[in-house]
Amino acid sequence: MIYPPSILRIRIMEEGRKKIGLWFPLFLLWPFMLAISILLLPLVLIVSLILWPSGRGKKIILAFPLIFNLICNMRGLRVDVRGANDNVFVNFL
């Protein structure tokens, strides 16, 4: 099973020297995201039942697993942006 990323690392360098290095613990956000999704679940079910005859209700219900899969697949993503004098590095661990 693939788990969502637990740490976000950001490093900003200016003119070859390290300016800012930050580590954000994303695992602290997981309980809040779970609580929000549980609170929104009844509303999503009601809206999907209302829109079911038009065919959009099924797409709304299937959006939750797709969004969770997208977030889980961000683990290991590295973004390295280099300019003439600046460098920004973002890594999801």
**93 residues of the chain, pLDDT tens digit each:** 788 999 999 999 988 787 899 999 999 999 999 999 999 999 999 999 999 999 899 898 899 889 999 999 999 999 999 988 899 999 999
Both tokens of 71, joined, read 């977030």
| Segments of the chain assigned E as strands | 7-14, 17-25, 78-82, 86-92
60: in domain: yes
1: in domain: no
Q: Structurally, how many domains does the chain consist of?
A: 1
| Rounded distance between C-alpha atoms, residue 32 and residue 11, angstroms | 26
Q: Is the pTM of this model over 0.85?
A: no
**Could you give the C-alpha distances from 47 to 6, 39, 67, in angstroms and in order?**
32, 14, 18
With CA atoms as reference, report the closest residue to 34 among 83, 71, 84. Answer: 71
2: in domain: no
39: in domain: yes
Q: Which domain holds residue 78?
A: 7-92
80: in domain: yes
